Structure 1
Amino acid sequence: MRVCLIPLKTEPRNPSANLDRLGQCLEEIAHYQPDLICLPECTFTGYLYEEDDFKQFAEPIPGPITERMGQSARRYTTYLCFGLLEVAESGVYNSAVLLDRKGKIILKHRKIEEKPPFVNGDTVSSVDTELGRLGLLICGDLFNGDVIRELEPSLNLLIVPMARSFNKRSPDVERWISEERQVYIEAVKAVGVTTLIVNALEINTDDPSFGGAMIVSADGELLAESPHGTDTVLMWEFDRNGG
């Protein structure tokens, strides 16, 4: 199984430019024929949390973005995971979806470890696929013990889109290497499931997410990592049991 993590360079509040950037990236990696492509939290809008932004950028699921990404999944015959702002009758959620090779939504997760004005999700689910049993969390959910205990024990792979920043000083390679990287590794080890982590690389904003991606095995081994502070694509091939 070949997976591709894309820490997409994201300009907040400019989904059109971000979608164009993704389109170029997908063309560039198409010859690798990835089985699964993973994108960051709030992929096309950046991490937004103001009511005015919700009114302008939040979409239903299914909706225009899921339909457009479905076209990409079909075109490249790949599973595709991405984050978005989801509007529903109960409010706005920080959500992520997983599409199959035919562009069908097979898994949706609403972020649980989230702050107002978002509405918090309250369920954790997974799905059986040809790639194994896949689970989906978002950013801070990975560090919530109650959430982790709800994960299906038979998971083969956990996908975690993120939009993580360093308090207006992102990127910070020294901090990443000396502190943050090991925190993620220990969190995955506690979960006990091979995990794909992909972070947005935000631009033109005061508090940017710092990009990068990593793959950590169930026992806490760092299998692969793209450079901190970059949008470098991370490609990795491993067997269906997560090895």
Structure 2
Amino acid sequence: MRVALIPMNVEAGNFEANWQEFKRRFEEALEHSPDIMVFPEYCLTGFDEWDFSGAKLYDEIVNRVSTLAKENSVYVILGLLEPYKRCVYNSALLFNRGGEVILKHRKFQEPMKFCTGNTVKTAKTEFGKFAIIICGDLYNKRILKWVKLKKPDYIFVPMEYSPDYGKLNEEDVEAMGKRVKLLSTKTFIVNSYPPGGAWVFDEEGKLLTSSKGKEILGVKI
């Protein structure tokens, strides 16, 4: 299984600029011959508190990404804002090689004004069972319960995290590893740029490999 983790520069509220960047990074990632591409949290719209206008683009994003996945016969994971009745979920989708959405995760760890998820689902692939969680979900106690129940082979974590003190430091990465150890599942994490970065941890929470900034992290498992 080849995975490409793709940190991406995101402009909040500028869908067309983000789409052009998404396609450019998608093409770059193809050089790694990936089976799976993973993009960050709400990577095509960004999010400024509390502007949920990007949720209106949900169907457009699904259609465009579906076409790319199908044309290139690759799995794609990305985060986006999902409208639901009178509120919005922070969600992430898994597209299969045929461009079908086979898994959706709705983020647990969100403040008021968002709808929040209440379950972790898995999707079967030729590589095993996949699960997705989003950014702060990594530190959510209820997520741990669901992961233990569902027992995915791999977890993918689209992230948008920019600490007040600038770039992520060793303590941040160490904290990720400690949470992954509790999940007991090989975990792939990719962050928006800036500060960017991508990380792969084994089931024991050991950091296997990482990248900094905008660098695409290509991994063979």
Establish whether TM, by shorter chain, passes 0.5.
yes
TM-fit CA distance, 1:215: 0.4
TM-fit CA distance, 1:60: 6.9
- Aligned 8 A contact 2:128 2:153 in 1: yes
- Aligned 8 A contact 1:33 1:76 in 2: no
Q: Which residue of 2 aligns with 1:197?
A: 189
Residue 77 to residue 16, structure 1, CA distance change in 2 (3 Å): same
Distance 1:48 1:161 in 2: 17
Are 1:107 and 2:103 an aligned pair? yes
Q: Which residue of 1 aligns with 2:216?
A: 233
**Matching of residues 28-43 of structure 1 within 5 Å:** 28-43=28-43
TM-fit CA distance, 1:170: 2.1
Q: Which residue of 2 aligns with 1:219?
A: 204
Distance 1:102 1:69 in 2: 11
The answer for unaligned runs of 5 or more in structure 1 is 203-209, 239-243
Q: Which residue of 1 aligns with 2:126?
A: 130
Distance 1:128 1:60 in 2: 28
Question: Which one-letter code corresponds to 2:60 in the other structure?
Answer: P
**More deviation, 103-112/89-98:** 89-98
Distance 1:160 1:86 in 2: 17
Secondary structure of 1:43's match? coil
TM-fit CA distance, 1:74: 1.0
Are 1:186 and 2:169 an aligned pair? no
- Cα-Cα RMSD: 1.4
Equivalent of 1:97 in 82, 85, 93: 93
TM-fit CA distance, 1:77: 0.9
TM-fit CA distance, 1:121: 1.2
Distance 2:47 2:145 in 1: 26
Distance 1:59 1:37 in 2: 24
- Aligned 8 A contact 1:109 1:136 in 2: yes
- Aligned 8 A contact 1:84 1:95 in 2: yes
How many matched pairs? 220
Secondary structure of 1:190's match? helix
Q: Which residue of 2 aligns with 1:44?
A: 44
The answer for unaligned runs of 5 or more in structure 2 is none
Are 1:146 and 2:142 an aligned pair? yes
Question: Which one-letter code corresponds to 2:80 in the other structure?
Answer: L
What TM-score, normalized to structure 1? 0.86
Distance 2:12 2:38 in 1: 19
